[in-house]
Structure 1
Amino acid sequence: MTPPPSRRRALLGMAGLAALAALSGPAAFRTLAAARGLATRTRAGLAFGTTVALTAAGPDPAALDAGLADGFAAMRAVEAAGSLFRADSALSRLNREGRLDAPPADLVAMLGLALDLAKETDGAFDPTVQPLWPVWSEAAARGDKPDPNHLREAVARVGWRRVAFTPERIVLEPGTALTLNALIQGHAADRVMAALQGRGITDAFIDTGEFGAIGAHPDGTPWQLGIADPRRPEALSAVIAPFSGFAATSGDYGMSFSPDRADHHIFDPATGHSPRGLASVTVMAGTGLLADGLSTACMVLGPEKGCRLVAQRPGCSVRFLGKV
């Protein structure tokens, strides 16, 4: 069964093209760049079951066009490796067949971090929670809660130690299934950023469902990132300024199974239920992959343990928003 979109939209690229369009229009965005001798390019599309957008500025329009094309190619490669929206992805094949030889590098990178986080958090982060998704989604479609027996059976199939992993081969124990939705958009942000920098681009803002920024806004000011209020999507709870590096958010609103959002798409692997204490967590980190994984882990761990987890990594920071 296809999972819900993995996008956890609690971040708004305030200095990205979409926000500028709302304030002054794309023409004004181009004018700001032209005043500093820069061209701009923005390309939007669909990936990972959601909308994505890349914005870059620089003196060479051809390099910008090539960089954005490379960025989208990188996203397609990440989808081919780890998207459950694609039946032909390497991850989908692994879940069906229980074994994958010569896994693609993107899958190795994502699963490697996933298993490292699982070990470090004693399973609070666990990529094998995929069996819980159909139990909850099918019950929600009936307007009900999962049958306790069915939920216990699904929990019994969860456990990161059920995965035998090397860069050359991945083997799953029978009944095990993986999801990398908690990592894939952050990893895509890393791959896109590398593609842009490979073309010499030094000013860019990327939205793959998680966010990354380098350099500055075309008017010379720092990029900014707004953290949306999880209960009022049109409002901001905070603004990160300046914003550079990567940011990811996990929240209880991306896919909820109950009107009060007590039950949602982020699961506590030990119980099969959702963590109840937080509405969202935003993590800033030096890579999108790490920011994405830490944000999900912190949703399960809660503020005290989550802060300790993030504090162990230089350059990382975390913001918690409690239930309201």
Structure 2
Amino acid sequence: MSTRPSLARRRLLLGGLGGLAALAAGPAAFRAMAQAQGLRTATRAGLAFGTTVSLTLVHADAAVIEAALHDGFAAIRAVEAAGSLYRPDSALARLNRDGRLADPDPLLAEMLRFALDLAAASGGAFDPTVQPLWTLWAETAARGERPSRTALAETLGRVGWRAVALSEAGIRLRPGTALTLNGLLQGYAADRVMAALRARGIAHAFVDTGEFGAQGAHADGAPWRLGLAGPRRGDPLAAVIAPFTGFAATSGDDATAFSADRRDHHIFDPATGTSPRALSAVTVTAPSGLLADALSTAAFVLGEAAGAALVARYPGCAARFTPKVA
């Protein structure tokens, strides 16, 4: 599964594309249509999870928008504090350092519980304990090398989701185990943000936490649209989801590569410690960001046939597979 370590932003999904009518009419007409409905739009961007994030909200009341933006970014910070490896003070970082955590952050416990359930459901294709593999590959790649068979075998001995004990009393890891929740963290953040916006009465929003979520429509009534970029920079759009509501996430080989041909990259098969070779990307749409994000990772590891079968087990989910390209 993916550790998503790179600060480089993934570009497999391009969010916030304007509605077809609005694009044809131009910005002035877009504003006029929105004003006629008494609605206004506000977008705010920031940094989180090692990338850029942004929220676009539609509402008639500027004060409601401002309060919702505040709450949306607070939700992002809460998810970071629970499970981000970019923050050395996060609950997950402390768990990895100490090997145990009493009375864990409820958000961390919820994410980890889901991760372990999906690990079981996917036959281990999704595994939150692959963090030692990231460390191994990053260190050897920095020397211009690939891991030796001995090093890979030793590291695989510390990978396995059954090494995690999660209970009401806390979380305990087997010695040598380390966790990453980056395979679902940004999707989960999209869920938490959308819940915070709904609590403020926001019915129309586009959320970009590194994964995407949308509800309602643009201020002029045009639907949200989500563009799926090709697997390599400079590629034209592969497809456009319109209307886009719900959540979408992509796992791909484009974020961090350990080899020039992208055969070795940041998504690991927990059974082998190497990168799956059949696909360049998997995009999953789902009723929740958590499902979309985690299933895209699991399906990438499993490959198209088994990955599609796994995704089909979850109501309201669908997957798009991009074969490996140079």
TM range (shorter): over 0.9
Deviation at 1:16, TM superposition (A): 6.1
The answer as to 2:67 corresponding to 1:66 is: yes
Which residue does the alignment assign to 1:293?
294
Q: Does 1:10 align with 2:12?
A: yes
Corresponding position of 2:239: 238
> C-alpha separation between the residues in 2 aligned to 1:30 and 1:194?
27
Give the 3 Å change call, closer, same or farther, for CA 178–191 of structure 1 in structure 2. Answer: same
Question: 1:98 corresponds to which letter in structure 2?
Answer: G
The Cα of 1:166 is off from its aligned counterpart by 1.8
| Pairing 1:77-116 to 2, within 5 Å after superposition | 77-116=78-117
Aligned residues of 2:225 and 2:240 also touching (Cα < 8 A): yes
Counterpart mapping for 1:250-269 below 5 A = 250-269=251-270
Q: Secondary structure at the match of 2:152?
A: helix
Partners of 2:174 and 2:162 in 1: CA distance: 9
| Residue 95 of structure 1: how far off its partner (Å) | 0.2
User: 1:162 corresponds to which residue?
Assistant: 163
Flag the 1:28–1:113 CA change in 2: closer, same or farther, 3 A. farther
How far apart are the structure 2 equivalents of 1:184 and 1:275? 21
Q: Name the aligned partner's letter for residue 158 of structure 2.
A: R
1:123 is matched with which residue? 124
- The residue that corresponds to 1:33 in the other structure is 34
Secondary structure of the residue that 1:152 maps to in structure 2? helix
CA distance in 2, matches of 1:2, 1:86: 14
Conserved? CA contact 1:266–1:274, under 8 Å: yes
C-alpha distance 65-234 of structure 1, shift in aligned 2 (>3 A)? farther
Q: Note closer, same or farther for the CA distance 1:12–1:28 as it changes in structure 2 (3 Å cut).
A: farther
Could you say which residue in structure 1 is the equivalent of 2:272?
Answer: 271
For the structure 1 residues 241 and 108, does the alpha-carbon distance in structure 2 shift closer, same or farther, using more than 3 Å as the test? Answer: same
| CA deviation string 1:52-87 (max 9, x = no partner) | 000001111111111011000000000000000001
Provide the C-alpha distance between the structure 2 equivalents of 1:249 and 1:108, rounded to a whole number of angstroms: 24
Q: How much does 1:234 deviate?
A: 5.0
Q: Once the 2 structures are TM-superposed, how far is the Cα of residue 242 of structure 1 from its aligned partner?
A: 1.0
CA gap of 1:7–1:91, structure 2 versus 1, over 3 A, is farther
1:298 to 1:5, Cα distance in 2 relative to 1, 3 A? farther
Structure-2 separation of matches of 1:29 and 1:87: 44
Name stretches of at least 5 consecutive residues in structure 2 with no aligned partner: none
Output one character per residue of 1:80-101: Cα deviation in whole Å (capped at 9) or x when no partner. Answer: 0000000100000000000011
Instruction: Report the 3-state secondary structure (helix = DSSP H, G, I; strand = E; otherwise coil) of the residue aligned with 2:17.
Output: coil
Instruction: Measure, in 2, the Cα distance between the counterparts of 1:225 and 1:167.
Output: 39
- Partner secondary structure for residue 13 of structure 1: strand
> Could you say which structure has the greater relative contact order, defined with CA pairs below 8 angstroms and 6 or more residues apart?
2
Q: TM-score, normalised by structure 1?
A: 0.94
Number of residue-to-residue matches in the alignment: 320
What is the aligned partner in structure 1 of residue 192 from structure 2?
A: 191
Change (3 A) 1:43 1:30: farther
Looking at structure 2, the residues matched to 24 and 79 of structure 1 have their Cα atoms a distance apart, in angstroms, of 38
In structure 1, how many angstroms separate the alpha carbons of the residues matched to 2:152 and 2:30?
A: 51
Instruction: For 1:304 and 1:6, locate their aligned partners in 2 and report how far apart those are by CA, in whole Å.
Output: 30
After TM superposition, the structure 1 stretch with the greater mean CA deviation from structure 2, 277-286 or 102-111, is 102-111
* C-alpha displacement of 1:107: 0.5
Residues of 2 paired with 1:2 and 1:230: CA distance? 16
Task: Provide closer, same or farther for how the CA distance between residues 158 and 7 of structure 1 changes in structure 2, counting only shifts above 3 A.
Answer: farther
Q: Where does residue 132 of structure 1 map in the other structure?
A: 133
Following superposition, the deviation at residue 122 of structure 1 comes to 1.3
Shift of 1:233: 4.1
Normalising by structure 2, we get a TM-score of: 0.93
CA distance change for structure 1 residues 30 and 149 in 2, over 3 Å: closer, same or farther?
farther
Structural RMSD (CA): 2.0
**Runs of at least 5 residues in structure 1 that lack an aligned partner in the other structure:** none
Q: Is the partner of 1:131 in helix, strand or coil? A: helix
Q: CA deviation at 1:2?
A: 10
Contact (CA 8 Å) 1:6, 1:48: kept in 2 or not? no
2:129 partner letter = T
* AA partner of residue 211 (structure 1): F
Give yes or no for contact 1:108–1:167 (8 Å, CA) kept in 2: no
Q: Contact 1:303/1:320 (CA < 8 Å) preserved in 2? A: yes
Q: Give CA-to-partner distance per residue, 1:245-301, whole Å, 9 cap, x none.
A: 000000001111111111000000011000000000000001000110000000000
For residue 33 of structure 1, report the CA deviation from its aligned partner: 2.4
Determine the C-alpha separation between the residues in 2 that align with 1:180 and 1:134.
Answer: 15
Query: What is the rounded CA distance, in whole Å, between the counterparts of 1:7 and 1:127 in structure 2?
Result: 22
